Amino acid sequence: MARKTPIAADLKKILSAGVRESVALAPYATYRIGGAADVLVEAPSELELIRALQYVHKSGISFFILGSGSNLLIDDRGFRGVVFNLGPSLPAHIEVRREDDEHVWIRVPAWYSKAQLLADALDRSWAGLEFSAGIPGTLGGAVYMNAGTKWGAYADVIESVRLYHVQQGVIEKTAAEMGFRYRGHGEASLGRESIVLSVDLKLVKRAQMQTSKDLVQEILAYRGDKQPLERPNCGSVFKNPENSERGAGRLIEAAGLKRHRIGGAMISDKHANFILNVDHASSADIKSLIALVQAEVEKQFSIALEREVIFV
């Protein structure tokens, strides 16, 4: 149960709108799991967002940045502190920074939907984001996780990232400085003290986009065929191990764990790297199933699976 905190009253003095107390987080997460946050903030502007972050940091209150709620497992006990929901209340538009005959450089807010960005790029005849077809979430989350598929990753098109750091203020880092790696970033680049404000991307101009559109449809069809999108889930639960010829899903399947169930959580029989909320699963159900998978794969194949899903 969320608790009343005086921080909410203080935040209401700082922000013109968007401060609520004891807000259930399950509706904000693709798992549809999660207790209440003490305070949920939906700042109406980037400036007010920064002011609120500054205040929360100085107060010593814990905070968490919520984008679209994908790739997260929020505890049923909720979050003790302030959750910043970056999305519906913040203005979102693509800024063309410069362009030449072959390329366009754009700046996109961190809370911009990956799906919307891809659609906008296709409409404007910009290529380079086709790999992102079907990836849920926002661009900020893509930076944090270096989201991608076998067709590519955001690190391939990111030029720089604009961040707010609680001690340094607004700073900018190049892609090289971010230290992108498979499904992650350089450990020193991001963390609890930094949030992504916007991302600069370099895309390719194309007069004819049919090849790009065909690839997007191919990827969407592949994901629809291979991935269980009909039940609440967080996407891939585990990273593919670097020291194995088989991906995480294949290893889990080989361990005989498809359709294994704990409480309301079940390993998908369509893709074993997906754990589904099939019947009002609790966060404990999901965590228990994750622990079971890690133990069995380690036992049978001597491979330690690393979680991709973030526990909140």
The domain that holds 297 is classified in CATH as 3.90.78.10
Residue 55 lies in a domain: yes
| Residue from 92, 39, 46 nearest 68 by CA | 92
212 and 204 Cβ atoms separated by less than 8 Å: no
Number of Cβ within a 10 Å radius of residue 203: 18
Determine how β-strand 194-205 pairs with β-strand 158-165. Answer: antiparallel
Residue 229 lies in a domain: no
In this prediction, residue 222 carries a pLDDT of 80
Of 183, 231, 250, 261, the active-site residue reads 183
Max alpha carbon distance in the chain (Å)? 57
| 236 counts as catalytic | yes
Same domain, 35 and 142: no
Residue 70 lies in a domain: yes
In this prediction, residue 118 carries a pLDDT of 93
- Give the SS3 label for residue 20: strand
- Predicted TM-score (pTM) of the model is 0.83
Of 70, 212, 236, 268, the active-site residue reads 236
Same domain, 209 and 173: yes
pLDDT digits (tens, 9 = 90+) for 89-111: 788 889 999 989 899 999 999 99
- The secondary structure of residue 245, as a DSSP letter, is S
Joined together, the tokens standing for residue 188 give 């020193």
Same domain, 52 and 102: no
Same domain, 78 and 106: no
Provide the residue range defining the domain that includes 69: 7-85
Spell out, as residue ranges, where the chain has pLDDT lower than 50. 1, 183-189
In this prediction, residue 1 carries a pLDDT of 47
Give the whole-angstrom CA distance, residue 190 versus residue 184. Answer: 10
pLDDT digits (tens, 9 = 90+) for 279-299: 999 999 999 999 999 999 999
Same domain, 76 and 99: no
Same domain, 161 and 212: yes
In this prediction, residue 188 carries a pLDDT of 37
Same domain, 219 and 299: no
Residue 74 lies in a domain: yes
Total of domains in the chain = 3
| Residue from 246, 236, 242, 280 nearest 261 by CA | 280
269, 273, 274, 279: CA torsion to nearest 10: 60
Same domain, 18 and 117: no
The domain that holds 108 is classified in CATH as 3.30.465.10
Considering Cα of 112, then 127, then 154, then 193, what sign does the dihedral take?
negative
Determine how β-strand 194-205 pairs with β-strand 261-262. Answer: unpaired
Joined together, the tokens standing for residue 112 give 């911009």
Domain boundary among 189, 223, 257: 223
The set of residues, in sequence order, having a beta carbon less than 8 Å from that of 267 and lying 6+ positions away, is 252, 257, 258, 259, 260, 261, 274, 275, 276, 289, 293
| 59 counts as catalytic | no
In this prediction, residue 5 carries a pLDDT of 62
Same domain, 123 and 20: no
289 and 260 Cβ atoms separated by less than 8 Å: yes
- Give the SS3 label for residue 30: coil
| 183 counts as catalytic | yes
Residue 237 lies in a domain: no
In this prediction, residue 191 carries a pLDDT of 57
